[in-house]
Structure 1
Amino acid sequence: MDALSDDEEFDFPLPNDDEQRRIALQIFLDAWDDALAEGVDPDVLANTAIFAAFSDMVETYGEESVAELADGLRDRVRQGEFTLNQTRH
């Protein structure tokens, strides 16, 4: 069987952005569950995930761009964007 060269096209469509996000989230949640099962504290997991995400984004986009993104997170958190089980009264 021949290996694909870098310039050969695939015969199947690549997932769109929404599908990639869904796949990435499922992989991440599975890894999260595995870490919890191994006894890793949820706070340690959360802080590690945030560190990994910010480190990767800083490497890709630079400190200033990531700082601007972080500035906007406060309002998004307060507006419930990251709250999974929202109950509104």
Structure 2
Amino acid sequence: MSTTKSIFSPTLGRGPSDQGQVERQIALEYLAEAWNSAEEDGLEKAALAHAALFAALATFVNLHGDEATADLIAQLPDRIRTGEYNLDRVLQ
């Protein structure tokens, strides 16, 4: 697996502290590589984002059920507003 610059790159190399975080970081690197390949093939970022969200939500529903997934999604507006998903923010 090669490491390439992507929209996810700012999160790489932050020193994961537990095995679950290590696994999520590796998964993110795989997704970044696939994302880059799709962009190189001409797919639009918006289409990739929609497909990624659908795949993620369908997986969560399959693993945890409708209600738990809905509860998770209900927390997203506040997390988005506080910048948790802003890759340009500066952590202090």
TM-score of the pair, normalised by structure 1: 0.78
Counterpart Cα distance in 2 of 1:77 and 1:18:
20
Counterpart Cα distance in 1 of 2:20 and 2:67:
25
Corresponding position of 1:80: 83
Corresponding position of 1:51: 54
Equivalent pairs counted in the alignment come to 74
* Unmatched tracts of structure 1, length 5 or more: 1-14
Counterpart Cα distance in 2 of 1:40 and 1:66:
28
Identity across the alignment (%): 36
2:19 is equivalent to residue 16 of structure 1: yes
User: What SS does the corresponding residue of 1:52 show, helix, strand or coil?
Assistant: helix
Determine which structure has greater relative contact order: mean sequence separation of CA pairs < 8 Å that are 6+ residues apart, divided by chain length. Answer: 2
* Unmatched tracts of structure 2, length 5 or more: 1-17
2:10 is equivalent to residue 31 of structure 1: no
Cα shift at 1:38: 0.2
The RMSD of aligned alpha carbons is 1.7
TM-score of the pair, normalised by structure 2: 0.76
Determine which structure has more spread, i.e. the larger CA radius of gyration. Answer: 1
Counterpart Cα distance in 2 of 1:72 and 1:16:
24
Cα shift at 1:21: 1.1
Counterpart Cα distance in 2 of 1:25 and 1:54:
16
